A and B are shown apart, each in its own frame.
Chain A
């Protein structure tokens, strides 16, 4: 195994700025597995990037994380099994919710257009919303960028953010589920 230390340092630096719970990088026989929240699985885990959950923000525009192939697991799961679809939980608390089987009393917020998803107004700033936040119908939840045009996405319903299905910098398709809002009190 041949690891370029500079590259590794760059990865760690990026990770430190990024919200995630579980990061798996595989290339050839190189395998880097970084996980936040206590449980350290076997294998190399060089990063100690640890920030208090909920304060981390987004710089993924500069260095988008490898998408679906390394989809994160629910926080309690052990070593990667089959990746869960659409369960990229930047806040680590979506209760394993799937947009395809939304519990009663929840509503989906979907992408109004194809574009790049940003959870924060600007890189380095706090996210618009976290899981658990109360939102009003006109609250801005995220930005979808299409060819340098920023489009705010509003909640459309009041309630509490129950899940975030996408990561900063992800390409989101038209009508792709972005958030679940628990509307019932």
Chain B
């Protein structure tokens, strides 16, 4: 069957999806906002349809416009990319109601993963390690629980979703007031004053496992990535594999991810995220990202698997063409997110016209980007300009290759994060692989002030 894929996204990931469709022989229709009619993806798509105005709510988040456009242009499936509509159960349902295949997991799986506490309960139910924590009702219970977990702890309403109303408590003195607030909020919002406490791990690495499932009950993992270099929960540098993991912990990590995939009868690509407490050598389940990830190329680099291709085939009903035993890892890959953000000014966005765009070209490098010289970088969306990926036989060689790529990368017209990326890569903490998720938050100012040696 010949498929026509509606690409409901923009930027570099739209280019990536179109490229994968082209190689599969699928035609493509790209939905764009009026601000994105001249993008690289718009030039490469089989057909371009203007969904609405520049604001995401009028275009990329406008579910009705996306589904209407997909149906009217004869598409068989919708690829949501990442962000925008990719994790919305209502959108997956709307696609299904209109005969479109949603390139992602089922609405039920999306719903189960949409709320961190539900996802945590799911993890616990299949014996996947979670961070120390639990629920409590009275002040006395809360104090006992906090003592057992150890400070600092996060406290929040036990029912209801998201990180809303989450409070950080660093000592017993702060606990009473934080508990009262969280409990009152829980009572008001959900009619149940139960609160949830969780250990706040301050010094952990972010590790995540790539999973892939088909509609025939097959599921595999494609190893792990490490994404500890983050700024306010925004990943900046990623790599695969995580070199800091002892082998038994890595085996537990992969097995845990597969247990979760199994519990959800997971279809398509997903990422199971964990925190890895290096000192305790402990893993704690965080959440599942039920979609293609920005950092998927590092996994592709070390496994040789085209993840977008496999994601499309699996969600369209094809059985996986390989099993777990066929997947082997080779070498090490690093990805740097090049963004239009000013590292000298708290990573403030800096849209504008890209007057110069001259990437490095060398062996072992890959660049995923939608930027070209003369492109007007719009102010309405995220600041990602491109992803530089470097692969080499081991971590040190991959870092060296990346440093070369970044040193030769020449961008003009907009302020970018390149100087920051160069300093991170050159930093002894990064090179020694001791970076944890709070490292960049604390070091950003120092990092930009210091000279690179």
**Which residues of the partner chain A approach B59 to less than 8 Å between Cβ atoms?**
174
* B68–A114 CB distance below 8 A: yes
B72 located at the interface, meaning its Cβ lies under 8 Å from any Cβ of chain A in the complex: yes
Beyond known contacts A114-B52, A114-B69: 20 more, CB 8 A cutoff: A113-B65, A114-B50, A114-B65, A115-B65, A115-B68, A116-B68, A146-B65, A147-B94, A149-B64, A171-B49, A171-B68, A171-B69, A171-B73, A173-B49, A173-B50, A173-B51, A174-B34, A174-B58, A175-B34, A175-B50
Ordered by A's residue number, 19 sampled pairs between the chains whose C-beta atoms are within 8 Å are A113-B65, A114-B50, A114-B51, A114-B52, A115-B68, A146-B64, A147-B64, A147-B67, A147-B94, A171-B69, A171-B73, A173-B49, A173-B69, A174-B50, A174-B52, A174-B53, A174-B59, A175-B34, A175-B50
A153 to chain B, nearest CB (A): 15
Task: State the majority secondary structure of interface residues on A.
Answer: loop
Smallest CB-CB separation from B50: which chain A residue?
Answer: A173
B85 to chain A, nearest CB (A): 14
A176 located at the interface, meaning its Cβ lies under 8 Å from any Cβ of chain B in the complex: yes
**Which residues of the partner chain B approach A114 to less than 8 Å between Cβ atoms?**
49-52, 65, 68-69
* B72–A171 CB distance below 8 A: yes
Instruction: Give B38-74 interface residues, CB cut-off 8 Å to A.
Output: 49-53, 58-59, 64-65, 67-69, 72-73
Cα–Cα distance between A171 and B73 once the two chains are bound (Å) = 8
Cα–Cα distance between A171 and B69 once the two chains are bound (Å) = 8
Residues of A at under 8 Å CB distance from B? 113-116, 146-147, 149, 171, 173-176
Count class of interface residues, chain B: 10 to 19
Cα–Cα distance between A41 and B102 once the two chains are bound (Å) = 47
A145 to chain B, nearest CB (A): 8
**Which residues of the partner chain A approach B64 to less than 8 Å between Cβ atoms?**
146-147, 149
**Which residues of the partner chain B approach A173 to less than 8 Å between Cβ atoms?**
49-51, 69
A100 to chain B, nearest CB (A): 15
Smallest CB-CB separation from B33: which chain A residue?
Answer: A174
Residues of B at under 8 Å CB distance from A? 34, 49-53, 58-59, 64-65, 67-69, 72-73, 94
**Which residues of the partner chain B approach A113 to less than 8 Å between Cβ atoms?**
52, 65
Cα–Cα distance between A174 and B35 once the two chains are bound (Å) = 12
A174 to chain B, nearest CB (A): 5
Cα–Cα distance between A115 and B73 once the two chains are bound (Å) = 11
Cα–Cα distance between A141 and B59 once the two chains are bound (Å) = 24
* B68–A146 CB distance below 8 A: yes
**Which residues of the partner chain A approach B69 to less than 8 Å between Cβ atoms?**
114, 171, 173
Cα–Cα distance between A116 and B67 once the two chains are bound (Å) = 12
B231 to chain A, nearest CB (A): 35
Cα–Cα distance between A171 and B49 once the two chains are bound (Å) = 9
Q: Lowest 9 A-B CB distances belong to which pairs?
A: A171-B72, A173-B50, A147-B64, A174-B50, A114-B65, A174-B52, A146-B64, A146-B68, A147-B68
Cα–Cα distance between A147 and B59 once the two chains are bound (Å) = 15
**Which residues of the partner chain B approach A171 to less than 8 Å between Cβ atoms?**
49, 68-69, 72-73
* B72–A116 CB distance below 8 A: yes
Cα–Cα distance between A171 and B29 once the two chains are bound (Å) = 13
**Which residues of the partner chain A approach B53 to less than 8 Å between Cβ atoms?**
174
B63 to chain A, nearest CB (A): 8
**Which residues of the partner chain A approach B51 to less than 8 Å between Cβ atoms?**
114, 173-174
B189 to chain A, nearest CB (A): 31
**Which residues of the partner chain B approach A176 to less than 8 Å between Cβ atoms?**
50
**Which residues of the partner chain B approach A149 to less than 8 Å between Cβ atoms?**
64
B255 to chain A, nearest CB (A): 43
**Which residues of the partner chain A approach B34 to less than 8 Å between Cβ atoms?**
174-175
Cα–Cα distance between A181 and B375 once the two chains are bound (Å) = 35
**Which residues of the partner chain B approach A146 to less than 8 Å between Cβ atoms?**
64-65, 68
**Which residues of the partner chain A approach B72 to less than 8 Å between Cβ atoms?**
116, 171
Cα–Cα distance between A114 and B34 once the two chains are bound (Å) = 12
Smallest CB-CB separation from A170: which chain B residue?
Answer: B72
Smallest CB-CB separation from B65: which chain A residue?
Answer: A114
Residue among B68, B69, B73 facing the most chain A CB atoms (10 A cut-off): B68
Cα–Cα distance between A149 and B65 once the two chains are bound (Å) = 11
Residue among B51, B58, B64 facing the most chain A CB atoms (10 A cut-off): B64
Cα–Cα distance between A116 and B65 once the two chains are bound (Å) = 10
**Which residues of the partner chain B approach A116 to less than 8 Å between Cβ atoms?**
68, 72
B72 to chain A, nearest CB (A): 4
Cα–Cα distance between A176 and B34 once the two chains are bound (Å) = 11
A68 to chain B, nearest CB (A): 11
Smallest CB-CB separation from B64: which chain A residue?
Answer: A147
Residue among B49, B64, B72, B94 facing the most chain A CB atoms (10 A cut-off): B72
Cα–Cα distance between A113 and B52 once the two chains are bound (Å) = 6
Smallest CB-CB separation from B67: which chain A residue?
Answer: A147
Cα–Cα distance between A113 and B72 once the two chains are bound (Å) = 14
**Which residues of the partner chain A approach B50 to less than 8 Å between Cβ atoms?**
114, 173-176
**Which residues of the partner chain B approach A147 to less than 8 Å between Cβ atoms?**
64, 67-68, 94
